[in-house]
Amino acid sequence: MATISAAMVKELREKTGAGMMDCKKALAECDCDVEKAVDFLRKKGLATAQKRAGRAMKEGVVESYIHSNGKLGVMLEVNCETDFVGRTDAFKEFARNIAMHIAASSPLGIVPEDVPQELIDRERDIYRAQALETGKPENIVDKIAEGKMAKFFKESCLMDQPYVKDPSKSITDYLNEVIGKTGENITIKRFTRYQLGE
């Protein structure tokens, strides 16, 4: 087995934000393969997040972000379990980054259930009409429309969007990393995005 070097641990910590001991354990489990160790830690973060789901989250922050031109702003509520975590730099940085992400990517909602039904119906009708227009048989038009709806939700719902600062992961992945780091359940409760003239 390869030796775990300080440089490997440092690289893994920079990529994941995980603690030193977690990074060493991940590298040991993955035969010093940093990329595999990143996946190992991401899966562990997801497992931690799932274990913590259902706990009460009554603490957190209301974060605001105003773009430098003053024409775009976001207000966001992010919740956690304890005031202690709510005051940590990792939690505050997460809330700030999510507010900036929302400003940049303009999601329609946090999850697909937040998207107004009339908008979903309109998009689905457009996708069906496009498929029919290309001469696709009726029996596969709905499958094509559903595939396009999945893409629509991925692009328009916050939790599925690629994180603007690191498009290799979704907002859900980023949230799970922070849950793994803080050891507490965290949720993005609600947001409002303001754009001048809209």
Domain 59-110+157-195 has CATH 3.30.479.20: yes
Q: With cut-offs at 50, 70 and 90, classify the pLDDT of residue 16.
A: low
C-alpha–C-alpha distance, residues 129 and 145, integer Å: 9
What is the chain's mean pLDDT, rounded?
84
Residue ranges matching CATH 3.30.479.20 in the chain: 59-110+157-195
Q: What is the pLDDT, as a whole number, of residue 47?
A: 46
The model's confidence at residue 190, banded by pLDDT at 50, 70 and 90, is very high
Residue 8 has pLDDT above 60, yes or no: yes
Which part of the chain has CATH 1.10.286.20?
A: 116-155
Tokens of 162: 């690629």
pLDDT of residue 51 exceeding 60, the answer is no
171 has a pLDDT exceeding 70: yes
Class of domain 116-155: mainly alpha
Closest CA to 52 of 188, 174, 182: 182
CATH topology of domain 6-52: Helicase, Ruva Protein; domain 3 (1.10.8)
Mean pLDDT, rounded, for 85-104: 93
- For the chain, residues classed under CATH 1.10.8.10 are 6-52
Specify whether the CB–CB gap between 180 and 45 falls below 8 A.
yes
| CA separation for the pair 192, 197 (Å, rounded) | 15
What totals of helices (H) and strands (E) does the chain contain, helices first?
8, 5
